[in-house]
Amino acid sequence: MKRIFIASAILVLTFSLGLLFLIHAQSAETEGALQNDPAALAAAYRHVEVASVSDAIEQLDGKRMYLSHRMQAIAPTKFVGFAATVRLAKEENHDPHALDGMLAAIDAGGKDSVYVMSIEDGENIAGMGGLMGTAMSARGFAGAVIDGGVRDVAYLKKIGFPVYATGMVPSTSVGHYRFAGSNLAVTIDNVPVRAGDIIAADQDGVVVVPREEAVKVLTLARQLDFKEHSMYAYIEQLGSIVEAVKKFGRL
């Protein structure tokens, strides 16, 4: 039994050292290199968990930058990209061009963009559907976050385009809303989002990372991930979460 425990302890230690080596290797990336290489920054964020990113922001800044449970994914997903923001204002109209800017914002985006839409009183209005999702997918968008509803969900699932929204509704914004701007500061589920901020999403939810804080948040999130992943085997072997938390200081 003692030999088994020693062997298990060695396995845990080896796993932890391997992760530690990976953390140090990743930390070797300079802040300037990541800040000046959006593709590398997005790729780095894809390897950390959203929960760790959320915790990192709270520990560093004392802020809540995650979206609440109101925002739900139409299917299990994980994506990271940079916010391309759009705002819709409530206005009954018969103007065929009222939403032209909403569509132009899609055509102006590209790889690693995340379409972030604020809709005034939008819970029962579909901010996007299959046509917009197809266009975003064709242009390489990472995903979409809609502070309102979404429709054509079956088709969006079929093409594998990830969307977070407040729910599924069959309604339209046409005739009821007007484009009120793009690439401007918006508020999504009481969280401020600016164009270019990092949007990270997985099955735990969505978190917004201010662009100027992206590297320091990433560094701490990696450390938190390392601790948590090291704890799993430790807890399994000892059967004690209390001892694991004492050792690693992570919960």
Tens digits of pLDDT across the chain (251 residues) = 445 444 444 444 444 445 444 445 555 456 667 877 899 999 999 999 999 999 999 999 999 999 999 999 999 999 999 999 999 999 999 999 999 999 999 999 999 999 999 999 999 999 999 999 999 999 999 999 999 999 999 999 999 999 999 999 999 999 999 999 999 999 999 999 999 999 999 999 999 999 999 999 999 999 999 888 788 888 888 888 887 787 777 76
The pLDDT score that the predictor gives to residue 23 is 47
The pLDDT score that the predictor gives to residue 21 is 47
| 110 and 164, same domain (yes or no) | yes
| 84 and 137, same domain (yes or no) | yes
User: Distance between alpha carbon 87 and the CA centroid of its chain, in Å?
Assistant: 19
Q: Are 90 and 177 in contact (CB under 8 A)?
A: yes
The pLDDT score that the predictor gives to residue 248 is 78
Indicate the pairing of strand 167-168 with strand 149-150. parallel
The pLDDT score that the predictor gives to residue 9 is 44
| 48 and 144, same domain (yes or no) | no
Contacts of 178 (CB under 8 A, 6+ apart): 88, 89, 91, 93, 95, 98, 99
Tokens standing for 66? 């995650």
Question: Alpha-carbon distance 123 to 166, whole Å?
Answer: 6
| 177 and 141, same domain (yes or no) | yes
pTM: predicted TM-score of the whole model, two decimal places: 0.85
| 21 and 50, same domain (yes or no) | yes
Contacts 24+ apart (CB under 8 A), 191-196: 191/64, 191/65, 191/66, 191/67, 193/83, 193/85, 193/116, 194/83, 194/85, 195/83, 195/84, 195/85, 196/82, 196/83
| 15 and 79, same domain (yes or no) | no
CATH number for the domain harbouring residue 147: 3.50.30.40
Contacts of 159 (CB under 8 A, 6+ apart): 130, 133, 134, 137
- In the chain, the number of structural domains is 2
The pLDDT score that the predictor gives to residue 247 is 76
| 203 and 92, same domain (yes or no) | yes
Domain that holds residue 155: 72-209
| 56 and 98, same domain (yes or no) | no
CB atoms within 10 A of CB 220: 17
The pLDDT score that the predictor gives to residue 10 is 45
| 243 and 182, same domain (yes or no) | no
The pLDDT score that the predictor gives to residue 168 is 97
| 222 and 203, same domain (yes or no) | no
